[in-house]
Structure 1
Amino acid sequence: MSRAFNQNAHKAEQAASRGSPGEVFRVFLKLGVTSFGGPIAHLGYFRDELVVRRKWIDEPGYGDLVALCQFLPGPASSQVGFSLGVLRGNGLLGGLAAWFAFTMPSALMLLAFALGAAAFTGPVAEGFLHGLKLVAVAVVAQAIWGMTRTLTPDRARAGIALAAVAIVVIYGGSLGQIAAIALGALAGLRLCRGEGAPVSGHLSFPVSRRSGAAALMLFAALFLALPVIAGGAGHQSIALFNAFFRSGALVFGGGHVVLPLLQAQVVAPGWVTNEAFLAGYGVAQAVPGPLFTFAAYLGAVMGPTPNGVAGAAIALVAIFLPGLLLVYGMLPFWDTLRSRQSAQAAMRGANAAVVGILGAALYSPVWTSAVLAPRDFALALGGFLLLTVWKAPPWIVVVLLAAAGALLGAVRNF
């Protein structure tokens, strides 16, 4: 009797802690217009807003989710955001609300540029963009500061994090990241056992196993069938969808890693000129949100039809779809896996490796591309202190550092 009561009480508490797709949309829309700095910085923004401030998920659960999304192909930060939307918004509608709100601001900006928006040039504009890079330094540093204390609290996990840094530095790229997480999980199996701590919270996503299996099967069917259909049908819209779907399906780590694949898919066949491709890539660095929205620009500037708004929509959906199908398919199985003692030990090691990967990314490319002079270090440090000591919202730091960068750019022009 008491057991049934406890189970019902837990279900009621879990239902009460969930919100609505509308709430998810509003929160992620704010993140979509303020999250500058690429996927690593996005994870910092998500942690600050959704783990620390709103407490949608606890720190270990967030680390588990980040590790899962790092293992899967696709844009890791968008997959984390989509999963948090599923969790908070009580299902697929919440996940789609999170994805749409986080993705659309940057996609619309890149579409506007593709359709002829004025180029963002000049010393003030360059200073503004440089200020946004310094925001990424502060945000990533804050994320590492917080995650280090919770995910690497002992010598074993600190050692795993340092080993992950070494692996990423030596091997680089997405393969280095995947290897670091996999080796971290193996090290955790040996070094992080015997900690009888229970799983913190419940990562019970409102996704049935049948729905998860259906999503995984749909991914496999599209991956195998689209090239055949595109080759036989002769329709440019199908060929366009196939090109961007395969780019999203074959990239681990997301972000900049997808660019060589995209270039091969759209420049080599003559759909987009190399000059237009590079111009769009430059603008993509200036907008918030996921770098995968670069697909919207490419779909719009295509030579063959469909292009414009229709081409942008096809390319955007196609490049995100494989990653979202994969993470949605894995969500119903993830809580069971992480509840096992061996899985807990492996995840402790994997989470420690994630901290190491974030640490390596803080240096390159985040630090090396942003901190070029002593004044850059001073601005980045100021942003870090605003976030950690004064607990300022990230959007305030974005506004202040971007404005400071623009002011320095104007001063240097005189």
Structure 2
Amino acid sequence: MGQNLVKAMRLFIRFLLLGCVSFGGPAAHLGYYHKEFVEKSRWLGESEFARMVALSQFLPGPGSSQVCCAIGYRRAGLVGAMAAFLGFTLPSFLLMSMLAQASADRMALGVVPLVIQGLKLLAVVVVADAVWGMAERFCRSALHWGLACGSAMALMLFPGLWIQCLVLVVAALIAGCLSCERENTASTVAYRWPKKVPMMLFVAALLLVLWPTEGHVLGIFSDFFQAGSLVFGGGHVVLPLLQHTVGESMDPDRFLTGYAAAQGLPGPVFTLAAFLGVELMPEHPWLGALVATLGIFLPGLLLMLALLPCWEGLASRPRLGAAAAGINAAVVGLLFSALYQPVFVSAVLSARDMALVVLGLFLLRGRQWPVLAVLMTMVGLHLWIPGAH
């Protein structure tokens, strides 16, 4: 237990630093995780990291936070999962909560919009680097390249809440059916059931929020828990769902301001819940932010902790391993579609922006600069190069 506490403290610090610089949304966060924990620290292998990413795509909730929680769990058990999640989420939670309590007029002052645009360009660089690296690792055959390209095309042409899950299921079926390996029961890993405690907590919380509730605090938790249980497809999908559930209770401009800020700040986009919680409980702003944030994150984190053991056990079987490899290839397509929409479309507005993206990609991938150094370069150049804004 003592060793796990020491590991948990180290996890908290590592993820806290990542939470301060992880701009760009879920796809970019996966790139940061891979660079930090697979390439640099070597805490995870390529296939193990890919299985975590694939499982997060099947589950509702914030995918990057689920992978963060899974990494912490693999490193130091339940306390490690909590430390990793708290470290990664805390900077964005504090910034969004304080921003909601600030005057709306201050967000448009000075160079803030220009800085946010520079951060968006960095997001393009990070996501492109993640797509490039994962394609090299997971697309080593014509079949896997076909699954990756087909997944990207499907998500670009038919974006929707359920298309992402459907694409992954189809990729798994195709890769599994075309696998030439035979099942060898003597060498497979024994099947493991889902973890009982997190699954029971999820079911209990779901029954609680579906029951007619009274009270402002419990009502906010119920609304955000239901949203976190239904959001498939990444952080940007949370916008229409939250607008439907809680957006009508506040000024539309404030709601959109909070969403725009969540896109420009580091950390998970789902900390938009902190901003909205402050708006819904102005008399107790920090309580509102905490309740809303716990509500929207809790379903996905509980499901990840419950299903991770049996998911990895199933994926280790030969034919199911081939299906998992197909899912990994499809994840490359998912990341590529995210690179185009919303990351590239919202960030690259001119030829000069594209030139800065090319430079950033050269510095990050060609020269192996640290992400923080690339961040400072991208923001600085966007602020000072004539015509960049």
Structure-2-length-normalised TM-score: 0.92
2:22 corresponds to 1:39? no
Q: How far off is 1:19 after superposition? A: 6.8
Letter in 1 for 2:253: E
In 2 relative to 1, CA 195–43 (structure 1 residues): closer, same or farther, beyond 3 Å? Answer: farther
- CA distances 1:125-162 after superposition (whole Å, capped 9, x unpaired): 22211111111111111111111111011111111111
Q: What secondary structure does 1:110 align onto?
A: helix
2:202/2:299 contact within 8 Å kept = yes
Name which of 50, 54, 64 aligns with 2:51.
64
Task: Determine whether 1:121 maps to 2:112.
Answer: no
1:393 is matched with which residue?
A: 370
State whether residues 113 and 119 of structure 1, in contact with CA within 8 Å, keep that contact through their aligned partners in structure 2. Answer: no
1:7-406 matches, within 5 Å, as: 20-88=7-75, 90-116=76-102, 119-122=106-109, 124-194=111-181, 212-230=195-213, 234-268=214-248, 270=249, 272-302=250-280, 307-406=284-383
Please name the residue that 1:199 is paired with.
none
Q: Amino acid of the residue matched to residue 164 of structure 1?
A: S
Separation (CA, whole Å) in 2 of partners of 1:184 and 1:320: 28
Say if 1:236 and 1:304, in contact at 8 Å, map to a contact too: no
Q: Deviations over 1:13-40 (max 9, x none)?
A: xxx9997001101110111000001111
CA distance in 2, matches of 1:359, 1:191: 24
Structure 2 SS opposite 1:91:
helix
Q: Which of 317-326 and 115-124 deviates more?
A: 115-124
Range 71-80 or range 256-265, more displaced: 256-265
Structure 1, unaligned stretches of length 5 or more?
1-15, 197-201
CA shift at 1:209, angstroms? Answer: 5.4
In the TM superposition, what is the alpha-carbon distance from 1:294 to its structure 2 partner? Answer: 0.6
Deviation readout 1:239-293 (Å, 9 max, x if unpaired):
111001000011112301111121122133x3x2222212212222221000110
Deviations 1:179-218 (A, max 9, x none): 111111011112344399xxxxx9x9xxx957x1221122
Task: Work out the CA distance in 1 between the residues paired with 2:212 and 2:10.
Answer: 39
Q: CA deviation at 1:122?
A: 4.5
Given the superposition, is the C-alpha separation of residues 412 and 355 from structure 1 closer, same or farther in structure 2, using an over 3 Å criterion? closer
Give the partner amino acid of 1:99: F
User: Given that residues 75 and 292 in structure 1 are in contact (C-alpha distance below 8 angstroms), is that contact kept between their aligned partners in structure 2?
Assistant: yes
Contact preservation (8 Å) 1:126, 1:406? no
CA contact (8 A) 2:69 2:85 kept: yes
Q: Report percent identity of matched pairs.
A: 40
How far apart are the structure 2 equivalents of 1:18 and 1:64? Answer: 26
Task: Report what 2:186 is aligned to.
Answer: none
Give the C-alpha shift of residue 336 in structure 1.
Answer: 1.3
Question: Residues 192 and 349 of structure 1 are in contact (CA less than 8 Å); yes or no, is this contact kept in structure 2?
Answer: no
- Work out the CA distance in 1 between the residues paired with 2:379 and 2:136: 29
Alpha-carbon spacing, 1:34–1:412, altered in 2? closer, same or farther (3 Å)? closer
Gaps of 5+ in 2: 184-188
Normalization by structure 1: what TM-score?
A: 0.87
Mapped to 1, the partners of 2:74 and 2:233 lie a distance apart of: 22
Counterpart of 1:174 in 2: which secondary structure?
A: coil
C-alpha change, 1:358 and 1:35, in structure 2 (3 Å) is same
Letter in 2 for 1:374: A
**Compared with structure 1, are the counterparts of its residues 299 and 343 closer, same or farther at alpha carbon in structure 2 (3 Å cutoff)?**
same
Query: Does the 8 Å CA contact 2:51/2:312 hold for their aligned counterparts?
Result: no
Q: CA deviation at 1:399?
A: 1.6
Matched residue, 1:3: none
Q: Measure how far apart 1:229 and its partner are.
A: 4.6
Cα RMSD for the two superposed structures: 2.5
The 3-state SS of whatever aligns with 1:120 is helix
Distance 1:346 1:412 in 2: 46
Name the aligned partner's letter for residue 115 of structure 1. Answer: Q
Q: Which amino acid aligns with 1:178?
A: C
What SS does the corresponding residue of 1:119 show, helix, strand or coil? helix
Contact 2:179 2:322 in 1 (8 A): yes
The answer as to whether partners of 2:68 and 2:84 remain within 8 angstroms in 1 is yes
Question: Contact between 1:124 and 1:407, CA under 8 Å: does it hold in 2?
Answer: no
Distance 2:262 2:286 in 1: 17
Question: Residue 333 and residue 19 in structure 1: after superposition, are their counterparts in 2 closer, same or farther (change >3 A)?
Answer: farther
Structure 1 stretches of at least 4 aligned residues deviating more than 6 Å after TM superposition: 16-19
Aligned amino acid, residue 219 of structure 1: F
Cα distance change of structure 1 residues 160 and 217 upon mapping to structure 2, 3 Å threshold: same
The one-letter code of the counterpart of 1:373 is S
Aligned length: 382
